[in-house]
Structures are given as C-alpha cells and as structure tokens.
Amino acid sequence: MTTKIYLPESELPTHWYNVAADMPNPPAPYLGPDGRPVPPEAMLAIFPETLVMQEMSSERWIEIPAPVREALTLWRPSPLYRARRLEQLLKTPAKIYYKNEAVSPAGSHKPNTAVAQAYYNREAGIRRLSTETGAGQWGSSLALAGQMFGLDVRVYMVRVSYEQKPYRRSMMQTWGAEVFASPTDMTESGRKVLAADPDSPGSLGIAISEAVEEAASRPDTNYALGSVLNHVLLHQTIIGLEARRQLELAGDYPDMIFAPCGGGSNFGGLAFPFFADKAAGREVRLVAVEPASCPTLTRGVYAYDFGDTAGLTPMMKMYTLGHDFMPPGIHAGGLRYHGDSALVSQLYHEGLIEATAVAQLETFAAGVMFAQSEGIIPAPESCHAVAAAIRAARECAQSGETKTLLFNLSGHGHFDMAAYDRYLRGELTDYDYPESAIRASLAHLPQVG
C-alpha cells in the first residue's frame, strides 16, 4: 500500500522530449511585424543561441546538460503520489495519482526551466538575466536558478503584487535577486507609463516590456520567460517523463491526464511525454484545465496574435482571447494569460488534446478537499487540475469505472493563503463572462498577410 513512488537520482531523465517531433504537422512559425517567419537570428538579441535552437528544433530528444541535471537533483526526481485518502473521501473506484512539483525550493514546477535557462545563458557568457513576475512564482524560480549558476537576476515585479505579496519578494531577495516595483524609472517603457500615471499599479504587460527592454539594450543581459515558448515547454517535459516511469513502476498507466493551463508549460510538461505514446497509438486523454474566467482554449479563437499586451513580441498562431483581453482578478495569477503556447494550441486545434474550464469557487472547493485529505495545500493554479480530476473521479463513482487518473500538483499554496482566507470567509466569487467582452478584444487581433 505505497503512497509515494520515488525514482532514484540515477533515473533522472537524461533527455527532454520535444513534442514537435511527433506532431502530425510542423509547428506554425512565429511571424514578425512584416508577416513573415521570424528568423532565428532575430531572437539572439535576448536569448542565447542554444535556446533559440531548441525553440526551432524538431529533434525528438534533446540532451539535458550534466550541470543542469546536477542542479535539478536538489529536488528531482519529484515524487509521484497515489492519492489514497482523496479516493476514499470520494468513494471512487478510480485510482488518482498526482505528480508533486511543490517540492522544489521555489514551490512549483517553474525552476525546472529556470535552471536550464540560467545554465545556457551562463555558458553563452551572459552575466545577468532580466525577467518579469506577477504573483512571484516565476521570479523566485529564476532568482533561485541565477544564484545556482552565478548570474545576477533582476526582476520587474508588477507594482501591485510587489506591495501586496511582500513575501515572494523577500524570497527572491533571499536568493540574491534585485526586485523592482514595475513600472520603474529605469527603462523607457517604465518612464512612459509613469509620465502618464505616476501611481500606475503596473501590469504584467508593462513588466515584460521593461525586462525585454533591459535585455535588448545591454549585451551582458538576456531575458528569460517562464512559459509559452517551445523551449520552456521542452524543459518541463521532465515532469511527464518521470511520471511515466513512476507509473510503470507502480504497474499503472493513466486513462486521463489533467494539468493547469495558462501559458502551457505546466500542461505541456506533464502531458507531452504521454502524447508520444498517443502518437504511437496508445489510448490516453490529455486534458488542459483553464479558468472559466480566462477561457483561452475553450472560448478563444485559433489565430495569429501577439504574446504581450503591447504587441512587441512576434505573432504566434495560438488560441487567444485577444492580446488586450483583461482577465478578471482571480487568484490563480499564473493562469491569467490571454493566449496559450503555440504547441498546445496546435495540438488542441487538431483534436489531439482536450480542454476544460473550471470556475474559481469550484477550484478552491477542490483545493480545500485535497488539503483535508492529502494534507498539501495546493496553489490556486494547481487547484484547477485537482478540480478536474475530482470531477472525473466522481464520474467513475457514478459509472463504476476504474479509471486511472493523473494530475499535476504543480505547486503549493503557502504564498496564497490570503486567497484561501477569502474563500473560507465566503468573499470569493465566480466571474460571469459575457460573449461580448471576448468579441470586443478579439476584434483587435492583428491582421496577418
């Protein structure tokens, strides 16, 4: 009656899995302002060549460098859990497994790519990384990774989060990063915003502009992104590769897999390695779980759009709600993204993966149920996967089916207790989303070709 399945460090995956190799059609190219595919060289201003190569690669397996593997062993392989207490609570015949990514020092799956990005940048002679962060999960992961590889890290943290979430800020500073409340007066983008509104609360879009501007203007500095891009999803596939091996040790294979989906690295990280099996004919359902209040896959359109609010990034073919769509202030900050990874979007468009949306109250109810049975208090993002898995387990209780379910417990909620507090006090609400709001932002999609 084992609860946790560990892999020895000797079984830490040696290669990442690149889903592009098994997609029926090659990934749609990123487009520049002229509507033509962005050449790799254009990305070199802010990314090292190795990451740009990974971004464009169609190789199935990409080797994980030894120093990255060594860094990952600080917390990996992460444990796979059988959620026996949750199963009992639900009186379900389903088997529920979850991959526990909350064990990383930063508390989520984000450091999996942060250490890889820090390593490749250091190898390229870069001394400094700049990035943005909202709630702080990504910023703290990059702070940790920068510290491990001797890089300075500068984090532009959305001002309202900087003030409301001082503990994530302290975490980044403890790991040696410099953290600035964005907008700052250190960049042109920041100064422009402050000139118009000296009390601007900031936004992720503004913070991205500041971080990219710093990286583009300094040869010793690069930019690092925590989701969306192909190389980020690639680095996260270590989650699914480990999980597949752990389930094999448990003598099991999942019927359904659930992961939260914002920019796509959480979902891609767990699901893509199983997509390889699916492409080879094995039956497995891969379900991306998104917030009902930011329903990119379930209510957006598949079209070229910008990755950021200001329209500075290349255009990516993806499911989008429009780049100026403003999702309501739900607590799953990591899922408040208007678009989605191009890889995830294309697989969804081709009917190879599924998506479902869950409203905020259901996610917190699931999080509390999980905490009361399995102990761990999940991050609000992770609660989305918990909720979807609970739905499936309940269906099994109805139908009597003995399905095997797997979900990504992508992070803990230790820095999100204010959200739980509001939920327990009955202060949280769901957000009703009129179709007209989505149509309005979709009207601003860029014209391509």
Q: Is 311 in the site for its own copies (CB under 8 A)?
A: no
Q: Which residues is 317 bridged to in the sheet?
A: 304
Least distance (Å) from its own copies to the CB of residue 152?
13
Cite the beta strand spans of 207-353 per DSSP E: 221-223, 256-260, 285-291, 301-306, 315-320
3-class secondary structure for 26-49?
Answer: CCCCCECCCCCECCHHHHHHCCCH
Q: Is 104 in the site for its own copies (CB under 8 A)?
A: yes
d(CA 158, CA 371): 29
Q: Is 14 in the site for its own copies (CB under 8 A)?
A: no
Residues belonging to the chain:
449
Residue 108 three-state SS: strand
Q: Which C-beta is closer to its own copies: that of 169 or that of 336?
A: 169
Gyration radius of the chain's alpha carbons: 20
Q: Is 26 in the site for its own copies (CB under 8 A)?
A: no
Least distance (Å) from its own copies to the CB of residue 3?
5
Residue of 424, 429, 432, 448 that binds its own copies (CB under 8 A): 424
For its own copies (CB under 8 A), the number of binding residues is: 45
Q: At what angle do helices 265-279 and 238-249 cross, to 10 degrees?
A: 60
Least distance (Å) from its own copies to the CB of residue 371?
5
Q: Which of 448, 141, 204, 162 is nearest to 338 (CA)?
A: 204
For 216, the token pair is 């583009």
Answer for the pair 332, 381: CB distance below 8 angstroms, yes or no: yes
Name which of residues 366 to 405 contact its own copies (CB under 8 A): 368, 371-372, 374-377
In this structure, the strands spanning 15-17 and 95-100 are unpaired
Q: Is 103 in the site for its own copies (CB under 8 A)?
A: yes
Answer for the pair 322, 443: CB distance below 8 angstroms, yes or no: yes
Name which of residues 174 to 203 contact its own copies (CB under 8 A): 174-176
Least distance (Å) from its own copies to the CB of residue 415?
7
Q: Which C-beta is closer to its own copies: that of 187 or that of 408?
A: 408
d(CA 17, CA 241): 8
Residue of 13, 107, 254, 411 that binds its own copies (CB under 8 A): 107
Q: Is 23 in the site for its own copies (CB under 8 A)?
A: no
Q: Is 361 in the site for its own copies (CB under 8 A)?
A: no
Q: Which of 401, 422, 260 is nearest to 331 (CA)?
A: 422
DSSP state, residue 350: T
Q: Is 411 in the site for its own copies (CB under 8 A)?
A: no
Q: Which stretch binds its own copies (CB under 8 A): 68-76, 199-207, 321-329, 403-411?
A: 68-76
Q: Is 170 in the site for its own copies (CB under 8 A)?
A: yes
Q: Is 252 in the site for its own copies (CB under 8 A)?
A: no
Positions touching its own copies (CB under 8 A) are 1-4, 6, 8-10, 70, 73-75, 85, 103-107, 144, 147-148, 166-171, 173-176, 368, 371-372, 374-377, 414-415, 417-418, 420-421, 424
